């Protein structure tokens, strides 16, 4: 559950332009997010696994997501224009956009199911999600739309969406149902904090309105990592950017500075906004850029807004992207683990070598959707520039996750049971403290087909607060590992019991995931959520690398962590590989 971030800074443009207003504005533009999504690990699918396909594509004869007889060994060898390593949302967005632009593209994925941290699997009729669970803006249009929506629109993909507007919150002050799109939070504040807190909140909303407008001026779809950005971004949007200069400057710093400047001192409001910032970016308010929170205010605290659940869950989004890729001539190779990126004698990336035999040669580029740390592992150490290696290796990493997936009997439960629940055990120590915040999603309350009749499926997790060091080096088959799983999962059970008190007796199937699960099956360095880059203290790199022909996208790349951000990163990488005129025409086509 993470209203994922867009941004820390536009590296290339800030360098190209000496306009102070743009230097500030480019920080904010990357946060045009309209979707909440937590990227979390899942459990490996067994032989009975299947994909929850609930996606309506614009073309009825879309190719299947998983070929019945996938190619193996040398039979996978071929030549293409671009090969994309990894089928996470960032990689699929990049590949789909490149295919839309007319390039030949192949995506190679190690897992048997596409989606990376957004994939789902089925066990005994229960559909379990590994990551994103809370979305909005998937059907939006125009400049302010979610970047993922821009990609779906470009590929001609439509999703079957269920709209809703509420979730359940359990905090030390009590339990409450919060709704977006109205003054519900003011009512909550009135009950638990009083009129002074309501006045502070009202004042903050007034401060945030112009900031929210400024944060929505330029779509990430307009960005590219070459001088052509002066045409596709500046050429299209400069007048609006200049007009918002003062507000843009305020958006470039940490959100805590906005709170301080607005006189927000109520402890509950500060704790609540720390929580929201943490769920968006993995960092509290002092590490989350103000632009991200401004866009969140625009989405959650204005009239007539809503959340969206894609029928079939996050896998439906993934399958829609795969369908769009394939309809435009792209290929997806599953169960195809990349052993290494191939470099020619001049040091240029020319393709990938696959485990078990086979190579995919790339005439134009290789794009890695792996994390920066995992991308380094694919390159010959002696061919990597030392300064680049040192910079990536020293990037701080967010912690990992604990997961509990349950299939349980729903008999007698309130039919109005919420899809999402946030549990905060204590404000002391902050929202980033281990074993403190528990997030719960029950997707079958919106899509009953995701569980057997009379049952629900549930995913509870600790959102990027589980220390990898506790698990490092443990044998997953050892009694020590099993005991630690049992110990560290109790906070998840206890969190669920605050929503469903008799959950243990109702449970028919339970699966536990740890940082080692995340590391192994999602192939994530130390099971991390992504880089822990704080607002004002560091920058996400652009898609280019010192290796000619090698590009990157995903949560280690600008704009950063989260579904909208990685979708934007994939689009930016794709835009950077095509002529400006093609990029401009696409912006016209999707109406931005």
Write the CATH number for 76. 3.50.50.60
- Cα angle, residue 321 at apex, residues 78 and 74 outer, rounded to 5°: 20
pLDDT digits (tens, 9 = 90+) for 199-225: 999 999 889 988 888 877 888 899 999
Of 527, 554, 577, which marks where a domain is finished? 527
Burial class (CB within 10 angstroms; exposed 0-12, middle 13-18, buried 19+) of 260: middle
Query: For the chain, how are helix, strand and coil distributed in percent, rounded to 5?
Result: 40, 20, 40
**E strand or H helix at 359:** strand 359-368
Please say which residue of 502, 527, 552 terminates a domain: 527
By percentage, how much of the chain surpasses pLDDT 70?
87
Q: Which pLDDT score is estimated for 122? A: 96
- Say whether pLDDT at 64 is over 60: no
Q: Backbone dihedral region of 455: left (phi > 0), alpha (psi from -120 to 50 degrees) or beta? A: beta
The Cα 186–Cα 193 span in angstroms is: 10
The one-character DSSP state at 457 is E
Q: Which residue has the tokens 């652009």?
A: 542
- Domain membership of residue 433 as a residue range: 400-527
* Helix spans in 75-162 (H): 89-100, 147-155
**CA triple 192-194-200, angle to 5 deg:** 110
What is the structure's pLDDT at 36? 30
Token representation of residue 538: 């560091």
In a domain, 495, yes or no: yes
Question: What's the CA gap between 141 and 403, in Å, rounded?
Answer: 34
**Residue from 563, 544, 534 nearest 31 by CA:** 563
Concatenated DSSP letters of 158-221: EE-EEEE-EEEEEETTEEEEEESSSSHHHHHHHHHT-HHHHHHHHHHHHHHHHHHHHHTSS-GG
pLDDT 10s digits, 367-421 = 999 999 999 999 999 999 999 999 888 888 889 999 999 999 999 999 999 999 9
- The H helix count followed by the E strand count for the chain is 20, 20
pLDDT greater than 60 at residue 193: yes
| Chosen domain end from 478, 498, 527 | 527
Under 8 Å CB-to-CB from 463, ≥6 apart: which residues? 1, 2, 38, 40, 278, 279, 282, 401, 437, 439, 529
Instruction: Assess whether pLDDT exceeds 60 at residue 345.
Output: yes
Which pLDDT value is given to residue 194? 93
- For 421-438, write each residue's pLDDT tens digit: 999 999 998 999 999 999
Are residues 409 and 522 both part of a single domain? Answer: yes
pTM of structure = 0.87
Q: How far apart are CA 569 and CA 559, in angstroms?
A: 6
Same domain, 575 and 505: no
| Residue 492: inside a domain | yes
DSSP three-state, residue 507: strand
The three-point CA angle 10-14-17 to 5° equals 140
- Does the pLDDT at position 2 exceed 60? no
Q: Are residues 369 and 409 in the same domain?
A: no
Average pLDDT, the chain: 85
d(CA 21, CA 234): 12
Looking at the structure of the chain, the number of domains it has is 2
Segment (H or E) for 333: strand 331-333
Residue 7 lies in a domain: no
State what percent of residues in the chain have pLDDT above 90: 63
For range 353-361, the mean pLDDT: 96
Three-state SS at 23: helix
Please give the pLDDT value at position 470: 95
Same domain flag for 435 and 490: yes
Q: CA-CA distance, 305 to 291, in Å (whole number)?
A: 19
């Amino acid at each position: 559950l993470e209203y994922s971030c867009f941004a820390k800074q536009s590296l290339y443009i800030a360098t190209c332009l000496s306009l102070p207003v743009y230097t500030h504005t480019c920080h904010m533009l990357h946060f045009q997010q309209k979707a909440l999504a937590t990227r979390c690990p899942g459990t490996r699918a067994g032989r009975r696994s299947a994909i929850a396909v609930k996606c309506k594509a614009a073309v009825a004869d879309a190719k299947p997501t998983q070929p019945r007889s996938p190619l193996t060994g040398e039979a996978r060898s071929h030549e293409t224009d671009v090969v994309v390593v990894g089928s996470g949302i960032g990689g699929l967005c990049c590949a789909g956009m490149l295919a839309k632009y007319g390039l030949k593209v192949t995506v190679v994925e190690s897992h048997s199911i596409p989606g990376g941290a957004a994939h789902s699997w089925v066990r005994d009729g229960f559909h379990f999600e590994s990551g994103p669970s809370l979305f909005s803006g998937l059907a939006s249009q125009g400049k302010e739309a979610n970047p993922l929506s821009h990609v779906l629109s470009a590929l001609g993909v439509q999703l079957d969406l269920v709209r809703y507007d509420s979730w359940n919150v359990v905090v030390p002050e009590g339990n409450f149902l919060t709704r977006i799109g109205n003054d519900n939070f003011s009512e909550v504040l009135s009950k638990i904090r009083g009129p002074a807190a309501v006045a502070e909140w009202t004042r903050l909303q007034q401060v945030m309105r112009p900031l929210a407008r400024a944060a929505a001026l330029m779509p990430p779809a307009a960005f590219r990592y070459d001088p052509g950005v002066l045409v596709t971004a500046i050429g299209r949007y400069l007048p609006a950017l200049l007009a918002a200069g003062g507000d843009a400057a305020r958006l470039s710093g940490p959100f805590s500075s906005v709170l301080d400047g607005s006189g927000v001192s109520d402890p509950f409001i500060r704790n609540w906004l720390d929580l929201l910032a943490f769920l968006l970016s993995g960092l509290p308010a002092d590490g989350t850029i103000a632009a991200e929170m401004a866009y969140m205010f625009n989405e959650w605290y204005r009239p007539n807004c809503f959340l969206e659940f894609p029928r079939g869950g996050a896998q439906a989004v993934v399958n829609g992207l795969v369908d769009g890729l394939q309809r435009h001539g792209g290929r997806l190779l599953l169960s195809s683990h990349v052993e290494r990126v191939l470099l020619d004698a001049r040091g240029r990336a020319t393709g990938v070598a696959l485990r078990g035999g086979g190579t995919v040669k790339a005439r134009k580029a290789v794009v890695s959707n792996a994390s920066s740390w995992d991308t380094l592992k694919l390159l010959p150490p002696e061919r990597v520039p030392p300064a680049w290696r040192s910079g990536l290796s020293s990037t701080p990493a967010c912690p990992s996750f604990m997961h509990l997936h349950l299939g349980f009997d729903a008999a007698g439960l309130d039919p109005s049971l919420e899809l999402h629940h946030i549990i905060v055990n204590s404000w002391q120590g902050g929202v980033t403290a281990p074993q403190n915040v528990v997030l719960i999603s029950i997707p079958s309350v919106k899509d009953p087909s995701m569980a057997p009749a009379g049952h629900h499926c549930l995913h509870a997790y600790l959102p990027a607060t589980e220390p990898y060091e506790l698990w490092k080096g443990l044998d997953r088959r050892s009694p020590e590992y099993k005991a630690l799983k049992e110990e560290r999962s109790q906070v998840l059970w206890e969190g669920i019991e605050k929503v469903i008190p008799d959950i243990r007796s109702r449970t028919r199937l339970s699966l536990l995931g740890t940082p080692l699960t995340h590391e192994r099956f999602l192939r994530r360095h130390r099971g991390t959520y992504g880089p822990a880059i704080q607002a004002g203290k560091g920058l996400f790199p652009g898609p280019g690398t010192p290796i000619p022909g090698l590009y990157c996208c995903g949560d280690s790349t600008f704009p950063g962590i989260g579904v909208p951000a990685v979708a934007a990163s994939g689009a930016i990488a794709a835009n950077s590989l095509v002529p400006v005129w093609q990029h401009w025409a696409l912006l016209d086509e999707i109406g931005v």
